[in-house]
Chain A
Amino acid sequence: MNLIVFSGPPSSGKTSVILKTIEALKQRDISVGVVKFDCLYTDDDVLYEKAGIPVKKGLSGALCPDHFFASNIEEVVQWGNSLKLDMLITESAGLCNRCSPYIKNIKGVCVIDNLSGINTPKKIGPMLKSADIVVITKGDIVSQAEREVFASKVSSVNPKAITMHINGLTGQGAYELSTLLYDEDQNIETVEGMELRFPMPSALCSYCLGETRIGKEYQMGNVRKIDLGD
């Protein structure tokens, strides 16, 4: 089974891109399943179900969705293998843009949209910088100049990635993406022992552990102060 990890900020168009790409894969008789990771809420699983795609969702609740991803990916891979899928896609929304769920030697795709602002490529960390393929969406509603500027900003933070423009509504570009995703020779039976491409941020301050009171005496663990000058 192929494993593909999709990541990207909320509402960037991940689900639309994945749905259109799966349509193209289905035409080549490649069976695909999806596991959607989110934090508090998602109804994207309904969209996948409607399209006849085997889907599972995982809500991380009080945990960071990317940490949740790392602790569940093996089980998810086993689920995909039990269905004898040709390809399993995981989809997760980064929340703070600091984590990335990509795994070494597993294709990682980052979806970002033209509307998110010209400095967004700079703001997104490893999720964008260590992706193999960067998909830029919503190009149909901004000017050609903004598309060009945005793409050049993306390539300055991740020159190695293949950058593609996909229209999530019409599916323009999704067929092309599908040809880059499927690899006949890849057969992932387990991800046990594999490594994340980039360590997740160290956290664990008192607020991670449920503290709600504000004030110096309640701040413990990994605490840092903003530099406001004198």
Chain B
Amino acid sequence: MMDLTIRELEEKYPFVVGYFEAHKLDVEDHKDKSFREYLDSLSEDYVEEWAINKEKLIQDLEIYIKQMKEFLGIKEDMGVNSLTILPGHDKSGNKERFGELTISKSEIVSIVGPTGSGKSRLLADIEWTAMKDTPTGRTILINGELPDKKWRFSSNNKLVAQLSQNMNFVMDLTVREFLELHAASRLVEDVEGTIDRIIDEANKLAGEKFDLNTPVTALSGGQSRALMIADTAILSSSPIVLIDEIENAGIDRKKALELLVSRDKIVLMATHDPILALMANRRIVIKNGGIDKVIETSKEEKELLVELEKMDNIIQRMRNELRCGQQLNIQLTMEN
């Protein structure tokens, strides 16, 4: 591979351009040289000035190409169809009280339990694909089998994507630039089409619409969350999404979950909001660092959910009326 000229490298592996750029290597006038020849052509002063480590750059380029090839390959056949949690023990060493918990793709499971009860630990176990080697002694299976170690160490293919209440956009970019950047890091081919799909889905979720030229830092809380969810659903490669509450303002939470599920994600959702908790068919109860039980959402609870959604709709509609400068009246609550 290292015998190829830079031009040949770029033709064969277009992503190497990103590597050269990240290392601020200007290869423009050296395309006919091999990478080593190019590095050897740099003056000693230049090498020292810019802290260039030739041998490491060459080794790393090979690793980089290998990783990116794997990443592109994985994108096609990374199918995670199910996640299984096998019991470990709680903080006091008692065995967890469930046999085995398998969650399939397009399924939502909620997680409940007081702060500090061990929700973060459960998530970390999943993220690290625990093999009885974490403090809880749990085992995580992917597709019913002991998982490949790649899930632990690959920086581009994390098993779990996270969405939480505290998250903000910190980059100073417009929505379009932001999505382009994310798409580029995921080596997406149809960038334009992907961006259009994301903004379209995000606007279906957001109470107030926004466009591609809005700076991400100027989005409202609801719009930000809508964009984060649409982006995670469509662009993130992680097959499992963990949600830490979704605030009930400016976003259609039901549609948000439907979107994630429609993209074959496995959704785990920590929440104490009854509407969200009951949308899941099962919920994990965590106590003292361990899974205390797994409850199936009962028929009665599903009926209750319908009532709760009606109440929620009333509140949402009043919110919109307020936004439009109208006066609220009691009729609104009666129409349901």
Q: Which residues of A contact B (CB under 8 A)?
A: 24, 27, 98, 114-115, 117-118, 121-122, 125-126, 129-130, 134, 139-149, 151-160, 162-163, 165, 167, 170-173, 175-176, 179, 198-199, 201-202
Task: Give the residue name and chain of the A residue nearest to B225 (CB).
Answer: A143
A139 with B162: CB separation less than 8 A: yes
A143 with B181: CB separation less than 8 A: no
A153 with B170: CB separation less than 8 A: no
B168 with A153: CB separation less than 8 A: no
Task: Give the residue name and chain of the A residue nearest to B161 (CB).
Answer: A144
Question: How far does the Cβ of B57 sit from chain A's closest Cβ, in whole Å?
Answer: 9
A146 with B120: CB separation less than 8 A: no
Of the candidates A139, A159, A175, the one whose C-beta lies within 8 Å of that of B67 is A159
Within the assembled complex, what's the spacing in Å between the Cα atoms of A121 and B185? 14
A-B contacts, 26 listed (Cβ < 8 Å): A27-B135, A130-B56, A140-B167, A141-B167, A141-B168, A142-B167, A144-B167, A144-B228, A145-B182, A145-B235, A146-B170, A148-B158, A149-B181, A151-B155, A153-B22, A155-B64, A155-B67, A155-B155, A156-B22, A159-B64, A159-B67, A163-B153, A172-B127, A173-B127, A176-B128, A176-B152
Q: Which residues of B contact A (CB under 8 A)?
A: 18-19, 22-24, 48, 51, 53, 56, 59-60, 63-64, 67, 120-121, 123-124, 127-128, 133-135, 152-153, 155-156, 158, 161-164, 166-171, 178-179, 181-182, 185-186, 224, 228, 231-232, 235-238
Residues of the A chain whose Cβ atoms lie less than 8 Å from the Cβ of B156: 148, 151-152, 155
Question: How far does the Cβ of A23 sit from chain B's closest Cβ, in whole Å?
Answer: 10
The answer to whether residues A122 and B185 also contact, given A115-B170, A145-B178, A201-B51 and a CB cut-off of 8 A, is no
Within the assembled complex, what's the spacing in Å between the Cα atoms of A172 and B164? 14
The answer to whether residues A122 and B228 also contact, given A148-B186, A149-B185 and a CB cut-off of 8 A, is no
B153 with A162: CB separation less than 8 A: yes
Residues of the B chain whose Cβ atoms lie less than 8 Å from the Cβ of A122: 22, 24
A141 with B166: CB separation less than 8 A: yes
Residues of the A chain whose Cβ atoms lie less than 8 Å from the Cβ of B60: 158-160
Residues of the A chain whose Cβ atoms lie less than 8 Å from the Cβ of B56: 129-130
Task: Give the residue name and chain of the B residue nearest to A139 (CB).
Answer: B162
